[in-house]
């Protein structure tokens, strides 16, 4: 009954942007955790895109392949560095994932109708943009572009952390998100 706050991580952040533009009356605010904004610019870095597509191909293969968890972990480790415990947790999460979501990314179907320079100016609600290291999904250049295109944006940079801010720094993440939510 009330507008929702959307919290999206990675591909979920991109879905949150699209939802906020498709149904602005239903979205109170969006929180973008390490959004791969570079995927939606008019002229993406094709080398970086190719790396992302290959990573998602491997992940989709892990989801759909048979075999033992050891075999699946070995395959996942080629694109997801981590110890055995982290890989085991990742496998558990991937078992809940619909492989067609990854097909959507691999075939770049999201980019057919959604161009960042057209989407972001249409976002009417407050946005929290969580940015990590420069080599993670939200690049410095695309964070700057987002700040120029969004009407109401708060950006927080969290250094020395990778793509999974919520897992790597849960207390700091919760504090930042709570502070933002209390401001809207």
- Indicate whether 106 pLDDT > 90: no
What does the pLDDT look like over 121-179, one tens digit per residue?
Answer: 999 999 999 998 766 777 778 888 899 999 999 999 888 887 778 888 899 999 999 99
- Indicate whether 113 pLDDT > 70: no
In sequence order, the β-bridge partners of residue 7 are 31
What does the pLDDT look like over 41-95, one tens digit per residue?
Answer: 666 667 777 777 888 899 999 999 988 989 999 999 998 877 889 889 889 988 9
With the CA atoms of 119, 122, 128 and 129 taken in that order, what torsion angle do they form, in degrees rounded to the nearest 10?
Answer: 30
**pLDDT number for residue 1:** 82
**pLDDT number for residue 44:** 66
Instruction: Kindly write down the DSSP assignment for every residue of 14-77, as one continuous string.
Output: HHHHHHHHH-GGGEEEEEEES--GGGGSSS--HHHHHHHHHHHHHHHHHHH--S-HHHHHHHHT
79 neighbors 55 (Cβ within 8 angstroms): yes
**pLDDT number for residue 122:** 94
At which residue do the structure tokens 């990675």 appear?
10
Cα–Cα nearest to 176, from 123, 140, 128, 134: 128
- Indicate whether 38 pLDDT > 90: no
- Indicate whether 108 pLDDT > 80: no
- Indicate whether 111 pLDDT > 70: no
DSSP label at residue 101: H
Q: Considering the entire predicted model, what is its pTM?
A: 0.77
**What confidence category does residue 118 fall into, taking pLDDT thresholds of 50, 70 and 90?**
confident
């Amino acid at each position: 009954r009330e507008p929702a706050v959307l919290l999206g991580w990675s591909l979920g952040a991109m879905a949150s942007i699209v939802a906020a533009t498709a149904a602005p009356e239903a979205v109170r605010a969006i929180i973008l955790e390490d959004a791969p904004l570079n995927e939606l610019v008019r002229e993406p870095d094709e080398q970086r895109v190719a790396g992302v597509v290959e990573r998602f191909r491997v992940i989709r293969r892990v989801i759909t392949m048979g075999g033992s968890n050891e075999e699946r972990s070995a395959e996942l480790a080629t694109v997801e560095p981590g110890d055995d415990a982290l890989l085991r947790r990742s496998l558990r999460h991937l078992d809940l994932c619909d492989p067609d979501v990854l097909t959507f990314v691999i075939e770049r179907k999201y980019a057919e109708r959604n161009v960042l320079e057209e989407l972001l100016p249409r976002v009417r609600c407050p946005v929290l943009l969580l940015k990590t290291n420069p080599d993670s999904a939200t690049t410095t250049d695309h964070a700057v572009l987002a700040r120029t295109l969004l009407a109401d944006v708060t950006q927080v940079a969290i250094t020395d952390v990778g793509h999974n801010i919520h897992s790597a720094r849960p207390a700091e993440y919760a504090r930042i998100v709570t502070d933002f939510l209390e401001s809207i």
